[in-house]
Amino acid sequence: MPVDRLRFRPAGSLRSSRASQLGADRVHRRGGQSPTRAGESHARPPRGDNLRPDRSRIPAVLITAVLTASGLTCRPQRAASPAASAGSNDGPRRRQPNETPLQPPSAVAYDFLWQQRVAITYQGRTRRFDAALQKRGDTLTLVGLGPMGTPGFVITLEGETVLFENHTGRTLPFSPRYILLDIQRVFFPWSATGPRSGQIDGERVDETHRAGRLVQRRFQSTSVPSEPPIVVDYDGWSGGNDAPRWAHLHHGAFGYQLTVETVAQQRLAPAPAN
């Protein structure tokens, strides 16, 4: 997969660009699953297990090498809960008929490369890692970096196919497909002409905007109205950036929190036509 060689800059120094409306996709829920209470706030999660020591910057040349050279050959199984099949490792996999569809990467009109720090708090433990998230044409790639900046895991969505490679020596806290669903819930756009509230794949989705900025997105199951909602809070918008500095996701039913700090971001030039 061709990737431009990019130099990361702090998000505040980027040239102003159009702010995107960020979007959603729901997570498959297993029928009858009991909600789990999440006792954490949206503050930065406490220290816990690290997939990688926290670093202030990731060398762009390293991210380029990882995105270019990764052979993606691992397949997650169907996830009835967020942790199901997180360690699967048996080839590329397409969506099954009874699974929530992922949006195609091309739903985002532009290509981008974002440098991020991620913290996941689940079942009383917190895992942290640095990551690079790239959208290029109809391919979305998440690279989690391990110690010394080496590639830890790679999750790719190519059209409808999920590909996964894991070099961390441990299972991920959630399945690769589930991680992609959360990425799309937080960062992917709605239709440009769509409503700010509506029903998507069995969930009621409501957005809150202040001063022209998205500050919250809320997902409520329509099939299980008593289930706690999924809430995503956004803060730290700057200039015309496409992503906020912080996004905090709280999954009320499964009882986990996801905090994503986007520390650098830039758009990529369109890929050459084949």
Digit-coded pLDDT (tens) for 17-43 = 333 333 333 333 433 333 333 333 333
Model confidence pLDDT, tens digit, residues 232-245: 999 999 988 999 99
Type of residue at 96: Q
User: Does residue 140 contact residue 156 with C-beta atoms inside 8 Å?
Assistant: yes
pLDDT at 210: 87
User: Does residue 126 contact residue 61 with C-beta atoms inside 8 Å?
Assistant: no
Domain count, the chain: 1
Flag whether 83 is in a domain: yes
Section 182-206 average pLDDT = 79
Flag whether 6 is in a domain: no
> For the CA atoms of 121, 181, 59, 122, what is the dihedral angle to 10 degrees?
10
Write phi, then psi, for 35 (nearest 5 degrees). -60, 150
Please state, in angstroms and rounded to a whole number, the distance separating the CA atoms of residues 195 and 6.
35
Please state, in angstroms and rounded to a whole number, the distance separating the CA atoms of residues 64 and 80.
34
Flag whether 273 is in a domain: no
Give yes or no for residue 9 having a pLDDT over 50: no
What size, in residues, is the chain? 274
**pTM listed for this prediction:** 0.68
User: Does residue 235 contact residue 86 with C-beta atoms inside 8 Å?
Assistant: no
Helix (H) or strand (E) holding 68: helix 60-69
Please state, in angstroms and rounded to a whole number, the distance separating the CA atoms of residues 132 and 113.
7
Please state, in angstroms and rounded to a whole number, the distance separating the CA atoms of residues 83 and 157.
19
Flag whether 93 is in a domain: yes
pLDDT band at 272 (very low <50, low <70, confident <90, very high): confident
CB atoms within 10 A of CB 16: 9
Please state, in angstroms and rounded to a whole number, the distance separating the CA atoms of residues 144 and 51.
8
Flag whether 15 is in a domain: yes
Flag whether 274 is in a domain: no
Flag whether 1 is in a domain: no
Flag whether 3 is in a domain: no
pLDDT band at 186 (very low <50, low <70, confident <90, very high): very high
3-state class of 128 per DSSP?
A: strand
Provide the domain limits for residue 202: 11-268
Structure tokens at 64: 């380029």
Find, among 173, 146, 182, 170, the residue nearest to 53 by Cα. 146
User: Does residue 82 contact residue 254 with C-beta atoms inside 8 Å?
Assistant: yes
User: Does residue 143 contact residue 65 with C-beta atoms inside 8 Å?
Assistant: no
pLDDT at 102: 87
- Domain with 91 in it: what CATH number? 2.50.20.10
Average confidence score pLDDT of the chain: 71
